[in-house]
Structure 1
Amino acid sequence: MAQTMMKKIASSACVVIGITRRTSSRSLVTGSKALTAKKEQELPAEREVTKSVFMSQSTDIYTNLALEDWMYRNMDFSKHHVMMVWRNEPCVVIGRHQNPWLESNVPLLTEKDIALARRNSGGGTVYHDRGNLNVTFFTPRERYDRKYNLELIKRALFRGFGVKAVINERQDIIVRDKYKVSGTAAKLGRLSAYHHCTLLVDANKTDLSKALAKRETNATASTPSPVANLTEVNNRVTVDALQTALGYEYMRTPAVTLQDGGQDMISKQRGFQFVNPSEDWFPGLSEIRNELQSWDWCYGRTPVFTVSRSFPVPEELLAPSKLYSATQELSINMKVEKGLISDVTLNIAPGLIESGFHGEASVITHLIGKRFTSEALAALQDAMLTRRDSGERKLDDREQFVAKCFDQVVNTV
């Protein structure tokens, strides 16, 4: 199987070195046992290491993340360092341990058909579209050097476009003293490592802002930074031009030291290579992609969080001919574990109880175990309808108010 893939790559002028032989696609997904079982060897001298720039032909976020993971698990980077460049259709990408409901406007993403993905690395949440250039640097674990990679990007921006950038203490790339154009994250294994970042070239900042809108929970959110597109600094910067400039900067630089080897160094490298992230080229890729796209991975890996909201009850829903000394509010508290509602507390205003709504426990318990999505709202509405003896299939005004409050808890920021 690995031999078939190697022939495919070679016939497309894309040479991949050090791919571990496998016997089935399952072994690709269950972990690089053969790779991690290899006896660690002394790394070669810098002059013996060659470089390639892989250009992914996919614009699907799950496919590109799967390709990253496949290469990390299955390739030997000891003598061959790789920089992969890739782009995506609009999507939001969260870090491995982040909360999608806290970091993004999940209802908007659903409405606009914007993908949400959870990557295997840490770091913060980012928005991608075709105006972003994403870059991944693959090396052996011992030669992982985030500073080296960021300096390469910084040099490419200046050499290619005259854009002056700095690397701040958080290892973001900053232009004009305060505007962030690149965030960064990494994954380090026993033998291999990768560092990836996204460069804002001409992204839709309005969609970025809306997609990354925050909601209030008890969890800790990412710290937002003012952002800018590189086109705002120099309108000659395009994604294609930056990809080329960065690729040549990568190949003109030795594998470890930040020296300028010029054209002579470029001529010793393996060049730019188009990569087709498909099952035919990378056996087992589809299984990795399916896992990365699953609800259990994107949402079910979310740490425990709670949401609390209070809503003033409209006067017309309160008991008539009664005066209340305090604002009448309906309070909803939810605990969410692995993306599922594990506990719900409903505090009902006295005026709403006196007007006839009691919020029986049987109704609320229907929410337990439901996804923290519109699925929970549907379960609530169904429970309120089925508890009746009359068979009436329409919510009354008080029930509609309660359902609307639950909808705002689940589906608004």
Structure 2
Amino acid sequence: MPDITDVFEAAVAALDAQQLRRHRRVVAPLDGARVQADGQPRLAFAGNDYLGLSQHPALIEAAQRGAARYGVGATASPLICGHSPAHEALEQELARFVGLPRALYFYAGYAANTGAIPALVERGDALISDALNHACLIDGARLSRAELTVYPHNDLAALERALVASRGARRRLVVVDAVFSMDGDLAPLPEMLALCERFDAWLYVDDAHGFGVLGEGGRGSLSHWGLDAGAMPSRLIYMATLGKAAGVAGAFVAGAPALIEWLTQRARTFFFATGAPPMIAEALRASLQVIEAEGWRRERLLQLRARLSAGLAVLPWPAPASQSAIQPLLLGDNGTALAVMAALDARGIWVPAIRPPTVPEGTARLRISLSAAHTLDDVDRLCAALAEAGITTPPV
């Protein structure tokens, strides 16, 4: 057997050669969208705290009350003794919020997708997935062992062909991100639901980046598209994460009562995992109230997005239009992405460079993430810094 140190030192060196090595920063919040990263203050366009709720006093107070009442750990899986009154109330409130009969809370979004999807389909079934779906959807698909078909991004004609080709399968599940995490564009959910109705398939919607941001009262992508979730529980499986716009942690799957009962019994990442602390559930209950009550946060995101779009229009790099809080700036190769990120960092601004395998080869980018905690002046500062960086860094 080769020496473990030799193997992985060489593997890490290969990442360095391809400019693919990632580095963690030690990050602490300061004020609003400002953080301390590795001891230095930075204006951050890096996280997914789209509504600026992670430091909201109401959420912090709810977590503190929850800790005082329940302690800081759930102690066991939800089916043993880790399901508290706080968890039960949260699931009921989540279901009501998105207009579906029942919801199941998971400790993490990755766990929700890698647990729910294999519980829905298996060998002998067909799973059809968008090419730009998030890694947790891809891993959930692989774990299911269903026959997997990947169709080109948002290509409805290709999706229809895949549905036709899979007619012999016992079950057919179409899996899609409602808002794509690295491009910020939206899946055409009305057309996808119509195809699933036509071909008797189920649609699994991951609304990680739409929940709280899009739709009436922040109810997510289904509401954004004018879809009545309550009218389609036999066709739809809805999932959303709660560590982004909701500002806390975890995720949930919502749908028909029988579906949620089955996931409770068979989703391994729910069944075998220790539950999230009840204090987290209490913070999330407060978050739902704030999301609904403080609509100005979504209005600010619209203003910030318009300001950013205008500022990026004069830069030498493509910035595809986005309807979400995510704005990619396409730089092409890994070296350029890292160079522009470093140029911004030198100016006190943190925007992460995203490289393969997170995005396809040749599409390295900056992923600009907006938050209601940003101001218009923050966006202007970012655009000015990008313009300065563009003078010294060649375009794609």
- Please indicate, yes or no, whether the TM-score normalized by the shorter chain is above 0.5: no
The structure carrying a bigger helix percent of its residues is 2
Higher RCO (C-alpha under 8 Å, 6+ residues apart): 2
**Higher Cα radius of gyration:** 1
Q: TM-score range by the shorter chain?
A: under 0.3
The structure carrying a bigger strand percent of its residues is 1
User: Normalising by structure 1, what TM-score?
Assistant: 0.23
User: Normalising by structure 2, what TM-score?
Assistant: 0.24
